[in-house]
Structure 1
Amino acid sequence: MQRILVLNSKGGCGKTTVATNLASLYAGYGFTTALMDYDPQGSSMRWHSQRPRDNPVIHGVRAWQRSSGAQTSAWQLRLPPQTERVILDAPAGVSGQQLVNYVQRVDTILVPVLPSPIDIHAATHFIKDLLLIGKVRTAGVRVGVVANRAKKNTLVYQSLERFLKSLRLPLLGTLRDTQHYVHAVERGIGVHELWDRRVEEDRRQWINILEWLEDERVEMTAQQRHAP
């Protein structure tokens, strides 16, 4: 089982976009996939509730919910047998010991970042916390960054690239600022599941991210290759 945490201390950076699209991508490739929503806003589970029944199955867990007692309901966190990939959508504002606890439970962390001066500044401090407080490199946890709603040919985007290069962190993909993601989330699907040739570039970005996560080359599925 591989556990992938989607995390950034700042809200509104696209955590749910990354978590839901990644879960649907893994499910589409035949992995037994679970999506655990730790954010009390419940955005990932709202997306999950809209997912069509004939699309590849994703096991959804409302991990933020508490029972009447002090402990999280065990049945809510129980995963299907042979679960292969678990995507954790973390809440905003994770820091200190809570950050350490998350890091200790996962194999990989994806950090979505908006390419704006404010977001890059916030991401700078958060990634330093991951390295110093979370000790991700000591723990053997891989960290990759995904630029969200980005335009590559901008000074801000170039600033993000320089920052990541200075920390030796990979920029895995660039999610375009497009309504395709809006249309997908409304239907409970991933952008790569849209039957529209105009999302070809978006599909390829997700293939790049998947290849880094799996550390191997990934071919598009037949559905992706023959989308009209």
Structure 2
Amino acid sequence: MRHIMVLNAKGGSGKTTLATNLAAYYASTGKDVVLADFDPQGSSLAWLEARGAGRPRIHGMNGAGDGLKGVRKADVMIMDSPAAVHGKDLTALLRRAETVLIPVLPSPIDMRAVAKFIHEVKDSAPVSGKKVKLALVANRAREVTNIYWELEAFLGTLKIPFLTHLRDSMNYIRAAERGIGIHEMAPYATALDREQWKPIISWLNSKRSQP
């Protein structure tokens, strides 16, 4: 089973948005998907509850509550991590994944926070032992702002693959309300969003994303 984690110690960085859209994407391609929510707030599981019965099935698990006891076999497990995770808890989470996506918001506070966090992640045993691959995603980016370019320059200094910018779009809010993903919405309305997701999907489907 492929294990993909969305991780950032900074709250509000868009982890659940990435996790739910990844789960919906893989489910829409016919994969057997588990969505494991390690955040006590349970936002990913709440998204799953809003999902219509006619949509491709995604199996939810409460990682925060049961620690994935009795996890079922599947093709892909998408893991939504909690905020403020450090030290031994961070290492334990990283041991569950082969691939980690780190979303970053375009703000000075978020950039400073993620720089410190990535240093901690790189020093963890799973990553330093080359058992986990990392990549960055700029989230809620607006191209017309100076901070967009500052974020792009900053991410280029972290020596981790920087995959793409995801725009600040109402499509993500509409998808969250309905328990669906960008790839399950009308193609004409989500053409730009789908285009921005292509580098993420391409990287995840390549050997470069796996140890």
TM-score, length of structure 1 as denominator length: 0.85
Which residue of structure 2 aligns with residue 198 of structure 1?
A: 189
Q: Following TM superposition, by how much is the alpha carbon of 1:207 offset from its aligned partner in structure 2, in angstroms?
A: 2.5
Per-residue CA deviations over 1:74-115 (Å, capped at 9, x if unaligned) read 34xx22x3x111001010011001111111221000001111
Q: Following TM superposition, by how much is the alpha carbon of 1:198 offset from its aligned partner in structure 2, in angstroms?
A: 2.6
Once residues 145 and 188 of structure 2 are traced to their aligned partners in structure 1, the CA distance between those partners, rounded to angstroms, is 26
Do the aligned residues in 1 keep the contact of 2:164 with 2:196 (CA within 8 Å)? yes
Which residue of structure 2 aligns with residue 110 of structure 1?
A: 101
Once residues 153 and 131 of structure 1 are traced to their aligned partners in structure 2, the CA distance between those partners, rounded to angstroms, is 32
Do the aligned residues in 1 keep the contact of 2:95 with 2:126 (CA within 8 Å)? no
Instruction: Establish whether residue 174 from structure 1 lines up as the match of residue 165 from structure 2.
Output: yes
SS in 1 for 2:137: strand
Which residue of structure 1 aligns with residue 24 of structure 2?
A: 24
Q: Following TM superposition, by how much is the alpha carbon of 1:150 offset from its aligned partner in structure 2, in angstroms?
A: 0.4
Runs (5+) with no aligned partner, structure 1: 67-71, 217-228
Which residue of structure 2 aligns with residue 74 of structure 1?
A: 69
Q: Following TM superposition, by how much is the alpha carbon of 1:19 offset from its aligned partner in structure 2, in angstroms?
A: 0.3
Do the aligned residues in 2 keep the contact of 1:99 with 1:134 (CA within 8 Å)? no
SS in 1 for 2:41: coil
Runs (5+) with no aligned partner, structure 2: none
Which residue of structure 1 aligns with residue 64 of structure 2?
A: 64
Once residues 43 and 114 of structure 2 are traced to their aligned partners in structure 1, the CA distance between those partners, rounded to angstroms, is 22
SS in 2 for 1:9: coil
User: Could you tell me the percent identity over the aligned residues?
Assistant: 43
After the TM superposition, list the runs of 4 or more consecutive aligned residues in structure 1 that deviate by more than 4 angstroms.
none
Once residues 22 and 73 of structure 1 are traced to their aligned partners in structure 2, the CA distance between those partners, rounded to angstroms, is 19
Structure 1 pair 192/25, CA: closer, same or farther in 2 (3 Å)? same
Q: Following TM superposition, by how much is the alpha carbon of 1:137 offset from its aligned partner in structure 2, in angstroms?
A: 4.2
Structure 1 pair 207/56, CA: closer, same or farther in 2 (3 Å)? farther
Per-residue CA deviations over 1:134-186 (Å, capped at 9, x if unaligned) read 55142331111111110134332222222222222122121111111111100
Once residues 63 and 102 of structure 1 are traced to their aligned partners in structure 2, the CA distance between those partners, rounded to angstroms, is 10
SS in 2 for 1:64: helix
Alignment of 1:116-131 (within 5 A): 116-131=107-122
Per-residue CA deviations over 1:193-222 (Å, capped at 9, x if unaligned) read 112513101012223211101118xxxxxx
Aligned pairs, number? 207
**RMSD of aligned residue pairs (Cα, Å):** 1.7
Q: Following TM superposition, by how much is the alpha carbon of 1:29 offset from its aligned partner in structure 2, in angstroms?
A: 1.0
Quick check: which has more Rg, 1 or 2?
1
Structure 1 pair 156/178, CA: closer, same or farther in 2 (3 Å)? same
SS in 1 for 2:5: strand
Instruction: Establish whether residue 133 from structure 1 lines up as the match of residue 163 from structure 2.
Output: no
